[in-house]
Amino acid sequence: DAGITQSPRHKVTETGTPVTLRCHQTENHRYMYWYRQDPGHGLRLIHYSYGVKDTDKGEVSDGYSVSRSKTEDFLLTLESATSSQTSVYFCAISADRFEGHEQFFGPGTRLTVL
């Protein structure tokens, strides 16, 4: 299994509070991604990173920010959590974005915003 950990694994928070999720990898892969998974919507990309300090938006980036100060860590921040951000969040990594490079997924973080 690819060395990807996510923390916390479960979190319950209240509307309006800031929340930071962490993804840590031991594979030294260049690309890191944050997805959310919701019933009826499947998996959708929030943000991705193509190197240290290099990030870009995915299809559902509103309300989220990211940072990557080290190759191994990719942080997802909800500046002011809303109930619509209740979801399961997955981090993924890949060595590159081209043909032949798989994306590997972490175990997920279940976030509940009350």
Partner 1 sequence: KQEVTQIPAALSVPEGENLVLNCSFTDSAIYNLQWFRQDPGKGLTSLLLIQSSQREQTSGRLNASLDKSSGRSTLYIAASQPGDSATYLCAATNDYKLSFGAGTTVTVRA
Within residues 61-90, the interface with partner 1 by CB under 8 A covers 90
In the list 48, 72, 78, 93, the residue contacting partner 1 (rule: CB under 8 A) is 48
In the list 16, 18, 51, 107, the residue contacting partner 1 (rule: CB under 8 A) is 107
Within residues 24-43, the interface with partner 1 by CB under 8 A covers 31, 33, 42-43
Phi-psi region of 68 (alpha: psi -120 to 50; beta: other; left: phi over 0): beta
Strand ranges (E), 1-114: 4-7, 10-13, 19-25, 31-38, 42-51, 54-57, 64-70, 73-78, 87-94, 104-105, 109-113
51 binds partner 1 (CB under 8 A): no
10 binds partner 1 (CB under 8 A): no
Query: Closer CB to partner 1, residue 5 or residue 80?
Result: 5
